Structure 1
Amino acid sequence: MLRKFFFLTLITSIPLYGQQEKKKVDKKETEIKEVIVTATKTKKNLKNVPITVQVITSEDIKKSQSTDFKTFLENEFSGINFTYNGGSPNINMMGFGGKYVLFLMNGERMAGETFDNIDYERIDIDNIERIEIIKGASSSLYGSNAIGGVINIITKDSKSPLDINAGYLYDSSRDHKANLSIGTKQKWGSLSLASFYKMRTPYIIKDRVPTLEKQTDPFGNEIITEKYNELNVAGFINYGFNPKLTFNLSPKIDIALTPGFYFSERNGGDPSSQKVRDHYYNYNIGLKTNFKFNENQNLSISGAFDRYDKFKYYKLLKEDEKVYENQIWRISSQYNHNIFNKHSVVAGGEIFYDKLLNSKFKNEKTGNRENAKIYSVFTQQEWAINPALTLVTGARMDYHSFFKQYFTFRLGGMYKFEDIMTIRAGYSGGFRSPTIKELYFNWFHPWGGGFQIMGNKNLKPETSDNFNLSVDFNLKKLNLTFITQYSSIKDKINTDAIVKDTIRYVNLKGYTNVLSSEVSAMYRLNKNFHFKGSYSYYDIGKKNSENRPHTLTFKAEFIPTAKYYFPSVIISGKYLSGKNWYNDSDPEKYTFLAPYSIWRLQLASKLPLGFTLTGGINNIFDYTADKVGLYSSVDIGRTFYLGLKWNFNKKVQDTDYN
């Protein structure tokens, strides 16, 4: 595995040196827009962050015309994919599943669902200011669950005395999406309210190619029958409200309050859904106060609460039954000190409380409720050795109510070759404590022949050693990024059959190795034509995995010069390689999951008075899976959409211009 790591690093680095240009780069044309990021829990320009991080702006999201957060991630990044298990999306980011990817909303953890993923539908994509994706392990800053990376979603603030944005989109599959936000920015601070409504109609996808089954009739004759499997894809009605309030108490003190509410009704699309539906509720609130002592020192104190509930709703009785409740509380403080712009220090502590009610728990003492507490302290320091070289170190101690203390460390650096090339490399220790579900789960799974799933109170936390290397090139018209990560995980938690029809969570013996590499490029032919592409490779060292080892994305953009009417045009696609899915009971048998690609056409035309007309085709070539299943595409096929957006500030600018 290590030989693969160094080999991949070598082959992705060799071609770069032949592509460097010694002439001075035109910064206005090639430099990526500087965005303030918090990957190191300190505000920095993107180009000065010594840790591998990718920033997506609201403009990137707007151009994508994505209707939801999950679809945006899946379409834009080769290194992020989703499979579907139990009807819910399961993320894979650079070879790591949902248990290893930490999602934050404005820097705060989000309460999750029962399939080890957050509810991606609760994120209003039209209210996102930027997304920060930290590649690689970040346990030394963020603790457990951050082995695979961190995705931090920062919501919008009002930027003018009156901000109004509205939009509506209709899809030919009878999907609807609407959003409305209004806000104001004043001397005392800002106030905004973002809201959204989404509806998806449930649908059924079927095998295009039949499964052949052999049977014998009463007379001993062999009969071959054709069987077409089908899969119900759930529909939903979602809506949410996300206010945001900031106060400037003084030039040195400000407060931010971020409450939120979300509701979802899921319709499974099968006959039982006519009687029983799933209802989901989310309530959250965050409060953060910043104290600015001077230009180089500040202190922040924050608290957050996030609660996610699931109910079985019986339509005929008009009654509901709570089956799941996850509450998380977090209190933290953080001190930042910048010393002569050469040495920055971050130090902080936090208390995290996780409480879970689950009907699938069976404990004589606590019933179906369990909880865990974590107390943490952390520090990170950066040294600007010279204008080209920056070093970063970090350490964190987590004290878990079950597993006592664990320490994680980071050591990394960044080296710049003028404005052309930047190299980032580092080591980070990783730590993931068993989830409450992995400790206490006790449930009979009725599908697939039926089997019992058992938790294990004797589980040990996972620990890992993680290495990463990235190279960024910023040429005149071309940006290139190469990333390679290698992780070695000890005591990885997985399920294993202990007796017939019973599986249990266990720590795997030895080490589980994960290797991933990613190459991305952006080429600007001129002001009107841009091209983007990326390729990702994963190797997690085992036969059965939902990961398809090779994925590619491609995007071609035409941006018109005309101010109005003439549309921008985007053609994009994603390819996923095939793989073999092996039978657990008979390793010689396997099912081949065929490769596939899905392509999209997007059009957007600016109109006077702040309006933008959008339209396009999803899944241009009408791809559906030959055989449906947990790890196949659940795309419905070719659909068409049409939308209209309105921006009040654009209307004012147009009026002033005219």
Structure 2
Amino acid sequence: MRKLFLMTCLFLTAFTALAQERVSLRFLEKGTELPVAGAKVAYSPRQDMRGAIYAVTDKNGNVSLSLPPRGEGYYRITMLGYIPLSGKISAGEPSPVVYLEEDVLGLNEVVVTGSRTERPLKRSPVTTQVLSGQAMVDAGYANLQQALQQETPGLNIQKVGFGNEISMQGLDARHVLFLMDGERMTGDMAGNLDYERFNLHAIDRIEIVKGASSTLYGSRATGAVINLITKKSARPLSIDAGVRYGQMNERNYKNPSKKDFLYMFEKNADRPNFQAWTSGGFKAGAFTSQTDVWYSSSDAFYLYQAENDRKVYTKEANPFLPHDIVLESVLPRSPMGIEGTEHASASQKLWYEPHENLTVLLYGSAFFMNTYDLIQDLNFSQSRDFTGGAKVTYRLKNRFTVTGSLHSDFYDRFKRHERIDERLKVYKSRIVQPRLSVTSDYFRGHSLIFGIEHITDDLTSDRFVNRVMTTRSLRETEYFLQDEWTVNRRWMLSAGIRTNFSRVFGFMGMPKLAVKYSPDERWSFRANASMERRVGKE
């Protein structure tokens, strides 16, 4: 009896070893033959990739796959910046080397903002623009405002009294939602954030969704969503550091003396145009870390009018005039002061991925900024911001993915005295936002997402009631549901609804419908319609 039991165990062991025969693949970049590390490989016994299991290439571009009992299977590899590739593998074949081709046009770049799920850009049912972070740095942009202004059609940024004013396709900043890795930020003034807080060197890419997106992101996203996706290291060790120095715009004070009553004002007005940054990350086993530090300063200066104001009244437009009349001002306008800035930021993200079905993310950041205007009132503006949160994602094979997250953002603004160590808080904003979402691609042709989130938003400012610090609050619980249906290779429909309940405005529903038609690989036509609502604080 014991011999029979031992023989049975040996037989099952041998059968299991045969059934779990493994094969190795190596992925290299076409042309350079450099290994492609961190690529996502899906493999399945079925050609339609149903029931796929996932793996990730190592630092040498290698991946080991377990073949099904029949000894053959199918794989599909995806990697940001490369064209996806599919193939077939069989037992007994020599370990193949597969070459990935760079995606020059970016149509296969994976985006998440339009549907909160990963999909190639060309398959997104909503209009999405993607800007590469490295490409913006290589183009010489010093900050995010310059990059967005030059690279995004329909977006305009102009200088106003309280900072920068942004608009998208005619809608002001109150209808444009900025996200950092899919999470909201606070600290806005008339809908505008401190755009200086964004470290351009920490950004992997920017996804811009034009049009209403309230179904997935709430009532702030009635005009556009701008999602800043930060870096995540895919290599064992990656370090990027640099400095940038530019000529001052204007020298306001030469050789200020410490004996001067306005010494700090004079010194701060002529800060150097300087930037220094470092971005580093590592990947070791189940842990991945990404750290970004940035310092920047710029001088304050005046903008002068090149010519006096001139207005022409033509006889053609005004028939009662005897001839064209030109009016020109006697004096130019007063120069406009552009404040200087000094700011520092640091961010840290840590991922724990014990296996392909579980991802845990912890993150936090700190930002400090001084703004120096050209008004001699012995005060300057000081801001600080702290963010932190956690996100857990669990995938159950090809059935569904559950994501739970908790995000918080704390922003303060002060009026700081230049000569004494004293500051007055004039603005305080706090948001806390838990979220739970479930996504599923289980049903053929359908990509479903359902979620629930609650937001606690408290704003304290001296701008509400007669320069007295007053608090306004918002408490909302929201549910959202969306289905992206791939009808066939030409047609795709996206339908969803978001329900909102607040203590002040009660229940509201915001439906949405988007359609994409692709007659071939070269053309895609997109259209969407939605009902949008915007709520305020009580």
Tell me, yes or no, whether TM beats 0.5: yes
Could you say if the C-alpha distance between residues 172 and 309 of structure 1 is closer, same or farther in structure 2, counting changes exceeding 3 Å? Answer: same
Partner of 2:513: 411
| Residues in 2 aligned to 1:382 and 1:141: alpha-carbon distance in whole angstroms | 13
1:345 is matched with 448
- Aligned equivalents of 2:309, 2:368: Cα separation in 1: 39
C-alpha distance in 2, partners of 1:363/1:50?
48
SS at match of 1:368: strand
Distance 1:82 1:251 in 2: 42
Give the structure 1 partner of residue 210 of structure 2: 135
Show the 5 A alignment for 1:53-452.
53-173=128-248, 174-210=272-308, 225-272=330-377, 275-362=378-465, 368-434=470-536, 436=537
**2:339 maps to amino acid:** A
The CA deviation at 1:121 is 0.6
Give the Cα separation in 1 of the matches to 2:341 and 2:421.
Answer: 18
Task: Name the structure 1 match of 2:44.
Answer: none
SS at 1:430 equivalent? coil
Conserved in 2, the CA contact under 8 Å of 1:113 and 1:308?
Answer: no
Deviation (angstroms), 1:225: 5.0
Q: Secondary structure at the match of 2:232?
A: coil
> What letter matches 1:198 in structure 2?
S
> How far is 1:191 from its partner?
0.8
What's the offset of the Cα at 1:339? 2.5
Are the counterparts in 1 of residues 107 and 122 from structure 2 also a CA contact under 8 Å? no
**Matches of 1:305 and 1:249 in 2, distance apart?**
26
TM-score of the superposition, structure 2-length normalised? 0.71
SS at structure 1 position matched to 2:307? coil
Provide the rounded CA distance (Å) in 1 between the counterparts of 2:155 and 2:455: 28
Q: Which of the two has greater strand per residue?
A: 1
- Any idea what the Cα deviations from partners look like across 1:372-393, whole Å, max 9, x if unmatched? 1111000000111111111110
Unaligned runs of 5+ in 1: 1-26, 213-223, 440-658
In 1: Cα distance, 2:356 partner to 2:145 partner: 38
Give yes or no for the alignment of 1:34 onto 2:104: no
Specify the alignment match of 1:488 in structure 2: none
Cα displacement (A) at 1:416: 1.1
Q: 1 or 2 for the larger relative contact order (CA 8 Å, sep ≥6)?
A: 1
Cα separation, 2, equivalents of 1:28 and 1:263: 39
Q: Per-residue displacement from partner, 1:26-83 (whole Å, max 9, x unpaired)?
A: x978653522111101111111111111111233223322111111101112311112
Distance 1:249 1:368, change over 3 A: same
Q: C-alpha distance in 2, partners of 1:415/1:242?
A: 41
Does the CA contact (< 8 Å) of 1:164 and 1:182 recur in 2? yes
Local SS of the residue matching 1:432 = coil
Q: Which has the larger radius of gyration?
A: 2
How far apart are the structure 2 equivalents of 1:150 and 1:142?
A: 8
Following TM superposition, by how much is the alpha carbon of 1:155 offset from its aligned partner in structure 2, in angstroms?
0.4
Question: What number of residue pairs does the alignment pair up?
Answer: 397
**1:116 counterpart SS class:** coil
The structural deviation recorded for 1:192 is: 1.6
Equivalents in 1 of 2:135, 2:332: separation in Å? Answer: 44
TM-score (structure 1 length as normaliser)? 0.58
For structure 2, the 5+ residue unaligned runs are 1-100, 249-271, 311-328
How far did residue 94 of structure 1 move? Answer: 1.1
Whole-angstrom CA distance in 1 between matches of 2:111 and 2:309: 51
Question: Residues 75 and 31 from structure 1, CA distance in 2 versus in 1: closer, same or farther, beyond 3 angstroms?
Answer: closer
Identity of aligned residues (%): 27
Report SS of the residue matched to 1:42: coil
- C-alpha distance in structure 1 between counterparts of 2:434 and 2:288, whole Å: 24
CA distance in 2: counterparts of 1:86 and 1:399, whole angstroms = 35
**How much has 1:404 moved relative to structure 2?**
1.0
* 2:288 and 2:351 in contact (8 A); partners too: yes
Query: SS of 2:126's equivalent?
Result: coil
Q: Which position in structure 2 is the counterpart of 1:18?
A: none
SS state at 2:361 partner: strand
Quick one: distance in 1 between partners of 2:216 and 2:188? Answer: 24
Q: RMSD value over aligned CA atoms?
A: 2.1
